[in-house]
A = this chain, B = another copy of it.
């Protein structure tokens, strides 16, 4: 999973059949210092309450579909959690 920030939304009327009703957000992946890393992607919101600017973590590839109510969806990135805190571990 990867840390990311919600930065936008996508509106699409024409979609593959099994994508109807999914909330699609644009998220920017982040480093652990919460700096942008790589390209923004379009992710389905599996927690259904990720808001603008929120720090989340996303899952990619086949596992993204496992987060959705219907597992057989063409979704390759999903928001699966809203981050409360990121902490450094020390021995």
A33-86 with Cβ < 8 A to chain B: 37-44, 46-47, 49, 51-53, 57, 59-67, 71-78, 80-86
With A7-B32, A39-B31, A87-B8 known to touch, is A46 a contact of B74 (CB < 8 Å)? yes
Contact yes or no, B14 A82, CB < 8 A: yes
Contact yes or no, B2 A86, CB < 8 A: no
Total A residues in contact with B, Cβ cutoff 8 Å: 67
Interfacial chain B residues near A73, Cβ < 8 Å: 63, 66
Q: Which residues of A contact B (CB under 8 A)?
A: 1-3, 6-16, 18-19, 24-26, 28-29, 31-32, 37-44, 46-47, 49, 51-53, 57, 59-67, 71-78, 80-91
